[in-house]
Every structure is written in structure tokens, then in C-alpha cells.
A and B are shown apart, each in its own frame.
Chain A
Amino acid sequence: MYVYIFNRLVGAAVTVFLVLTLVFFLVRLSGDPVALMADPYFDEDDIQALREDLGLDGTVAEQYLVFLGNVVRGDFGNSIRFREPALNLYLDRMPATLKLMVFGVFFAIGLGIPIGVIAGVSPGSRIDGVARTGALLGQAVPSFWLGIMLILLFAVQLGWLPTSGEHGLKSMILPGITLGSFSIAAMTRLTRSTVLDIWDTEYVRLLMVKGLPRRLVIWKHVVKNAALPVMTLASLQMIAFLSGSVIVEQIFAWPGVGRVAVEAVFSRDFPLIQTVVVINTVLLVLMNLAVDLAYVAIDPRIRFTAAR
């Protein structure tokens, strides 16, 4: 087990290094950030002075070596645009993204799994029909439109909730629903499909014949066996939420990392782009590792394979 974890961590480190290098060179193909920042009154001397101030006057190779040396010390450099440590800017926005992520995950998993289970164990029923229609709409309706409609209805017309911004629990509801709408639909459909497969198996029929309560059969046996693919999807959703949703943050003026990332791309803010990508990569590999370890906890067969 520990060897497995060690091997995975080494692999993760290599992955992060490769991603870091790839992003470093790729972003520099997107254009000159100094040209974007320069005031119209700047001439070439001003632009060159600005380039020197920002550490962009050396060769790409020189910049890469400096960057690597700083990264191992935890220094991702200063944002070109904001002239503040890029890591600080990212971490400053992370709490807002985490809040939205928790709400979105709670919404998606908390509703998507139960609905999917209920629909899966009663195929063809009215509940199943409503669940499938809801899932279809959830995946078909663009989040951009949904967010605006929710604002117009619940904030403008009814006045129940704020339109936007981060102002506490009430302000998380509309963006959380918008963020989670696609995920709840995806969770519902996958859970339904997986439960449907398992519900038809012989061992489930045996459990029912033995006289176990239906509720026990569903929630203790069926759901546990349906958990693996659902957990995989849930982890991917969490990663997506952690990376920030640009559309939701745009509509609701939510100060998360998604907007930071997009603004960094548009302004060619190399250090900030690199910071966002590297941290998201680290989170992704760690999340994948956690999910893999969770598989072992849920499925004994996997444990057996790992022990060999």
C-alpha cells in the first residue's frame, strides 16, 4: 500500500513538472503581455523599460531557469498585471471558489445520487420519467442562460435572494444551483444507469428473496456496488468546481479563481496562468490519488490486487 502511494506521488511530481514546463512555453506563444499593458502614450523606450521591470527582457530559456529556481522555493513570481505575488492572488480567490464548490458538490451529490437511485430502482415509473427529463434539461440548458433566469426570477421579481456578489450564505444559492445544475443531471443519469444494471443482478434478487427490507437492499448493497463510477464522476466534478466556473463567476460577479484564470489568459499574465495551471494540476493528481485509495476502501477486490 505504501509503495503504491509512494509510486503515485512520484508520478504526480513528474506530471506536475511536465505540465509546468509545457504551460511555461505554451503561454509565451500567445503574445506579448507588455504590448497589452502599455499605455497608448508609451513609446518603445517605455515599453522596454516596462519589459525590464517585469523580468520579461531575457531569453525564454533564461526566464525558464529563473522560474524553475523560484518555483522550488514556492515562489511563482509576481503577476505581470497586478504586480503582486501570483500565488497570493490565487489563494486570495480560493476561499470563494471553495465555498461555491462545497455548495455545488452538496447540491449535485446530495440530490443527484438519491434521485438517481430512486429512478434506477423503479424504471418506467413516473418518478423515473421526471428524473430523466430533469437530467436531460440539466445537461441541455446552458448555465449562462440558467444563471440569468435565476437572477431575474429570484432576485429581481421575487426579491428573495441577492443578484450577485459574495455576501454570505444567501448569495451562494443561485450561483451554487447554476454551478451544480449540470453536475446534478450527470450524477442522476450515471447513478440511475449503474443502479439499473445492478438492480437486475442475481445477487440482488437473492437478497430480496431472502426477505431483506427493500430499503436495506438498495442503500446497503446496491448503492455500495454502484459507488465506484459515481465516485469517479463526483471527483471529476469536484476538480471542475475547484478550477472555478468562469461562466458562473462572470454572471454572479463571484470572486473565484475561474475569473482570475480567464483574465490572466486574456492579459497574457504568464506567472498567474502558470500558477493557476500548476496548482490545479496538483489538486487533480491528489484528488485522483484520493479517489484511487477510496476505491480500495470500497471494493475488497481492488485491495487484494494492490496487496499482490
Chain B
Amino acid sequence: MDDRGYWTRRRITRRVALRSAGFGAAGLAGAALFGCGGDDEEQAPAAPATTAQPAGTAAAGGTAAAVAPGARPSASSGHVDIAQSSLDTQPGDPHLGTSGIQEPIRYATNTSLFTLTVEGERVIAVADSIEAAEDFLSYVVKVREGLTFTNGDPITGEDVKFSMDRVAAMGSGKASWTRKFSSHELIDPMTVKVVQTQVEPTAFLSVRGLYTVPKNYTEGLNDGPWAETKFGEAPIGVGPYRLTENRIGVLETFEAHDGYLLGAPFVKTITVHVVPELTTKIAQLQTGEVDIVQGLLADQMDQVTSISGGKIVSSFGAGSSELTYFDIMKPDSPFNDVRVRKALAHAVNRQEIIDTLYRGQAILQNSLHVKFPATTGYDEVLAKNEPFPYDPQTAKQLLDAAGYGAGFQTQITTYDTSTSPGTPQMMEAVSNYLSQVGVISPVRFMEAGQYVGQFREKTLTGMGPISFGGLADDFAVVYETHFLGNTGPEAAAPFSYDDWQEGDDLWRAITKETDVEKREQMSKDLLRMLSRDRVPNLTLVAPHALLGLGPRVADFPRPPAQPYLSHLEHIRLEDGA
């Protein structure tokens, strides 16, 4: 059953979510994963299958073995060391995180009302059901019975309500929360009613689904009403792991929570080390000092597979690279003309970039931001057919028609980002392709902080890449943060340089639409119009996120579109390791 109208269902339950989210295809396993309260109709989700290996993985190292469906341990065991380039600010408090790189680690210690499985499907988790009112202005969240925090405290509606209070009072997303939700109240010990300020079916997504923290424990820390300081030092959550050591800039250590609602982790303890240098990480894998390294480039795959028992796993299409036309709204700029924007899209040989720069470890990105079926608005036709195939002749014809047959001068400003490795090199390649159709675009490198700051301040000129990782949940949410212009009362998207009235109006209609089928179709229409007709960005490629596994690790399934560590509970060690 197609569930891309996930967020606009009137009632979402575990049974609906599991059946509709592709688990039926995977086969429901007989083994129980978590306490289902004796409900015979509830079935456990299948254990995750290994992400399909990308083409070109070296045969010598082999690929990770598929996990037997339905297999979850009764108790976790063993230890794993992981090397990651950065853990950013390492906030122990899930309500204080601000960046995507922290998100996967937060998954380890926290689970929200819903979560993302390793197959990339959304399932509700702490919630047993989320039911919308007829007018979609309020939701009733029923908390699942029998769940406990990592300290053993049972999870109740009071904890969920307290968590909402906390986010609204001191969370890093408190402004979004108070703008989107007008009130929330406990209506019985296991049920919370949330009222929105306006109809917005995807409101929960913009507050990351609400991580639940224990009320009694937090208040018992005697650090003000929200324990802003002390909670992060000794956090308690609902995740598969508990944070036991947090040395900023050095490491994080996790210990398994065997009572986790989706099943005990395989590995008992995990330490994630901060190792900024890629060469050092690979050396650590070679010596066995670590078992998993994150952030490999395609060129490093051979070094890992040459280790006896070394393997590569990848998250498909984890990165997302698009070139933004900063001058799109300037009347005297070539980029103001859509023919020029389409011409440049035809001028770039993206497949050649994948084959040479990424050694096959990337996919074509044919639509803006939306790469996988799990995203509402995904259009299979658009995804599988390049809207602008490589064709320098057509590019020149379009430039000629727009009055730029002799070409023009512009610039590409770029930065380095861990979300899409190889971005500066890709920009050099793009610059070369553009020069072949007469568009001269020297590449200027800028430090990441300065680049992102100027990008948000909208002071950049010419063109420049922007990269985002993660699985987009809903295209309407993506549009709001990346493409919405200054055409209405809402604030323009922080990353948008465009003011496209037609698209913005359609977006507004989508956000109010509660009919699942209509919403889905409108989202597809908007995505098609944006990707094929408006073309505010030049889509490039989506690199896979590569991880190296040492001989002790049997498997580490990766969800799609995840550039960083996540789902640590699925790491499996070889027998005897």
C-alpha cells in the first residue's frame, strides 16, 4: 500500500504504519521485537535488510552480508569503536541540537513520536497512534503502553506533554514550535492533544518529531524547571542507547538499552571517536584500532577493501548537490532568463562526473531535493528521466535564443562540505563543462562558515552549490526551507534566491490541503514545475555516503540519504568478535 500520504492520514497507528511502509514486502517476521501488549494483530517489523551495495564495490573486500530477517538479539554484547570526522557540538540534550550532523547521534539516545527505520521508512514509535481532528487543526497523540526510558521509568502522556513544554520554553526550535502549535494538553494519563495555529499536516516534521524526555527525572535534577544544564550532562531518553560518556571534541560512548521499543541493539557498547583526518581514520581501520570509519571518499575504497575482511557499506544518495543561481531575480543577469538556466543544465555531463570523480558512487539527481519514494511528492517519471540530458548543442542553441550566443562571464563560489564530499572538485568540473558552451565561470573557494553565512544573507552572486543530506520527508517542507520566496506573508526560505509567485501560491495551497490524494498530486506538480520549468537550481549528483567496516563487523545496514552515522543498533559483529 502506497503510504506517501503518511502525514495527512486522519489516523496513523503502528499497524497502519507497518503495513503500509513496505514491511509487507519485506515479510513480517514471527519473532517479537517489542512488547505488543498481547495484541495479536500487531506484528513486529522485519529486521532491516542490508542496503544494496553500490555498483563498483571492490570484489576483494566483499560486500556486507544480508541480515537474516526477524533477527534481534535478546541481549546485546560486544564493543565497537567508530571514527567520525566530527560530532559537532555533541549536545547531550536532544532539545538543544541545531545541526544535521548531530541528528544521527541523537537517534542513538532518543526516539521521538515517530522514527525512521533503516529501510528509510517512517514508523510511529513512542506514539501508539496519532489521530487528526476532522479539520486537521488538532491531533490526539496516544502514547504506547509499556515503554520505558533508559533509566527504567515508564513513559506516560505526562512525559510527552512535559517534553512539548520544554521545547516550547527552551528548545532550539522553540520559535517554530510556538508558531506552529497554539496549545497542548494532557487529556488522560497516556494521551496528549496538540492544537495547531493553522492547518499544517507536516508541522511535526519541522520540530523533528519531538524527542521525549522523562519529566520526573528532569525535574529531579534541581536545575530550574527544564534542567538546561544538568540534563545534557546525564541525559535519559528512549533510544536504543544511553549516553555514558561525552567528551566534547574527543568521543562519545553509548551503552545499549536492551529494552528499546524496536528491539535490543546487537552491540553492547559503542565509542564514537572524533578523528578529523581521513588518512588517520583509514590507518586506524588498518590497525584495528577502530571497527568502522565514516566519511570515506570513493578513492579510498580500495584501501579499505584491501584489508583482510574489510568491507564498504553505503547510504544511497546521501548527499545532494545543486547549483543555485544567485542572480535569478536580477533583470540584467543572464540567469534571469530560464533559457539560460536550462542551457547550463544541458551543458553539464553529470554521468561523467559520477563515473570519474565519484567512481560510480553517486546517483543522478533529476529533481530538486527529492530522490526517494519515501518523500511525499516523489515523481518516479521525473526521478528516472533526466529533464536536461547532457547536450552541449542544445545548450548553445538555448543560449543563442536567449541572446547569449557569444557566452558570458560569471563565477562559481564553492565551499567544502562533509555532506557532499568532493564538492569543490565537482565545481571545477562544472566550470569546465560550462566553458565549453561559452560560459566562463572561474571557481572561487570560500571557507564554509563564511559561505553558509553569506548564502543565508543572500549576498552571493553568480552561482554556488548548496548541499543537504538526509531523507526529505515531504516536498512541501523542503519547498518552505529552500525555495519559498518573498511573495507572501511568510518569511522567505533561508536558502532561496527566487521569488516565484506561481510556485509559492501552489505551495500555500498544498500546505492547506488535507486530502491525501490531492496533496500528493499537487506536490508532484510543484516538483515537476520547479525541476523542469522554473529551474532555480541546477541539479547535479547525489553522492553515496561511504563507510568502511573492519573485519570484526559483519554488517552495518545503512538507510538511504543518510550522510552521517545513524541506526547504531543495527551494527552486527562477526561471530566470536
Q: Which residues of A contact B (CB under 8 A)?
A: 30-32, 35-46, 48-50, 81-84, 89, 92-93, 148, 151-152, 155-156, 159, 162-165, 250-253, 255, 259-260, 263, 266-268
* Residue contact A156 to B98, C-beta cutoff 8 Å: no
List 7 A–B pairs whose Cβ atoms lie within 8 Å, in order of A's numbering: A38-B98, A39-B98, A40-B494, A49-B175, A155-B287, A156-B287, A266-B448
Residues of A within 8 A of B100 (CB): 39-40
* Residue contact B173 to A39, C-beta cutoff 8 Å: yes
* B576: interface (CB < 8 Å): no
* Residue contact B453 to A32, C-beta cutoff 8 Å: yes
Closest Cβ of chain B: how far from A212's Cβ, in Å?
52
* B197: interface (CB < 8 Å): no
CA distance A299 to B509 in the complex (A): 85
Closest Cβ of chain A: how far from B209's Cβ, in Å?
12
CA distance A30 to B449 in the complex (A): 9
Choose one: A48, A83, A92, A156; the contact of B175 (CB below 8 Å): A48
* B338: interface (CB < 8 Å): no
Choose one: B96, B277, B491; the contact of A250 (CB below 8 Å): B277
Residues of B within 8 A of A89 (CB): 248
* Residue contact B176 to A43, C-beta cutoff 8 Å: yes
Nearest chain-A residue to B179 (Cβ)? Answer: A45
* Residue contact A31 to B449, C-beta cutoff 8 Å: yes
Q: A-facing mask of B450-481, CB < 8 A → 1, else 0?
A: 10111011000000000010000000010001
CA distance A65 to B20 in the complex (A): 59
* Residue contact A151 to B280, C-beta cutoff 8 Å: yes
Choose one: B89, B173, B206, B280; the contact of A81 (CB below 8 Å): B89
Given the known inter-chain contacts A49-B174, A84-B248, A156-B287, please indicate yes or no for A35 contacting B456, CB distance below 8 A.
yes
Residues of B within 8 A of A32 (CB): 453, 457
Closest Cβ of chain B: how far from A188's Cβ, in Å?
28
* Residue contact A162 to B491, C-beta cutoff 8 Å: no
Q: A-facing mask of B169-189, CB < 8 A → 1, else 0?
A: 000111110010000000000
Residues of A within 8 A of B206 (CB): 41
* Residue contact B99 to A37, C-beta cutoff 8 Å: yes
Please provide the 4 A-B residue pairs with the shortest distance between their CB atoms, ordered closest to farther. Answer: A45-B175, A46-B175, A49-B175, A31-B453
CA distance A1 to B173 in the complex (A): 59
Nearest chain-A residue to B495 (Cβ)? Answer: A40
* Residue contact A36 to B249, C-beta cutoff 8 Å: no
Nearest chain-B residue to A89 (Cβ)? Answer: B248
Choose one: B89, B249, B277; the contact of A260 (CB below 8 Å): B249
* B279: interface (CB < 8 Å): yes
* Residue contact A44 to B491, C-beta cutoff 8 Å: yes
* B349: interface (CB < 8 Å): no
Which of B100, B274, B279 has most chain A Cβ within 10 Å?
B279
CA distance A40 to B481 in the complex (A): 7
Residues of A within 8 A of B577 (CB): none
Residues of B within 8 A of A152 (CB): 283
* B488: interface (CB < 8 Å): no
* Residue contact A253 to B280, C-beta cutoff 8 Å: yes
* B276: interface (CB < 8 Å): yes
Which B237-273 residues have C-beta < 8 A from chain A?
A: 247-250, 273
* B284: interface (CB < 8 Å): yes
Closest Cβ of chain B: how far from A82's Cβ, in Å?
5
Residues of A within 8 A of B482 (CB): 40
* Residue contact A43 to B289, C-beta cutoff 8 Å: no
Residues of B within 8 A of A43 (CB): 175-176, 491, 494
* B410: interface (CB < 8 Å): no
CA distance A279 to B471 in the complex (A): 43
Choose one: B176, B250, B277, B449; the contact of A251 (CB below 8 Å): B277
* Residue contact A156 to B173, C-beta cutoff 8 Å: no
* Residue contact B449 to A36, C-beta cutoff 8 Å: yes
* Residue contact B491 to A163, C-beta cutoff 8 Å: no
Choose one: A41, A151, A155, A260; the contact of B173 (CB below 8 Å): A41
* Residue contact B248 to A251, C-beta cutoff 8 Å: no
Choose one: A50, A163, A251; the contact of B287 (CB below 8 Å): A163
Closest Cβ of chain B: how far from A147's Cβ, in Å?
9
Closest Cβ of chain A: how far from B120's Cβ, in Å?
19
* Residue contact B283 to A39, C-beta cutoff 8 Å: no
* Residue contact A38 to B494, C-beta cutoff 8 Å: yes
CA distance A255 to B279 in the complex (A): 17
* Residue contact B494 to A42, C-beta cutoff 8 Å: yes
Choose one: B176, B283, B289, B449; the contact of A41 (CB below 8 Å): B176
Residues of A within 8 A of B284 (CB): 163-164
CA distance A36 to B455 in the complex (A): 10
CA distance A152 to B100 in the complex (A): 33
Q: A-facing mask of B280-306, CB < 8 A → 1, else 0?
A: 100110110100000000000000000
* Residue contact A163 to B494, C-beta cutoff 8 Å: no
Residues of B within 8 A of A92 (CB): 248
* Residue contact A35 to B276, C-beta cutoff 8 Å: no
Residues of A within 8 A of B90 (CB): 82
Nearest chain-B residue to A262 (Cβ)? Answer: B276
Closest Cβ of chain B: how far from A260's Cβ, in Å?
7
Known pairs A30-B449, A44-B494, A45-B179. 6 more at Cβ < 8 A?
A40-B481, A45-B176, A49-B175, A164-B289, A255-B249, A266-B448
Nearest chain-A residue to B454 (Cβ)? Answer: A31
CA distance A73 to B311 in the complex (A): 54
* Residue contact B456 to A251, C-beta cutoff 8 Å: no
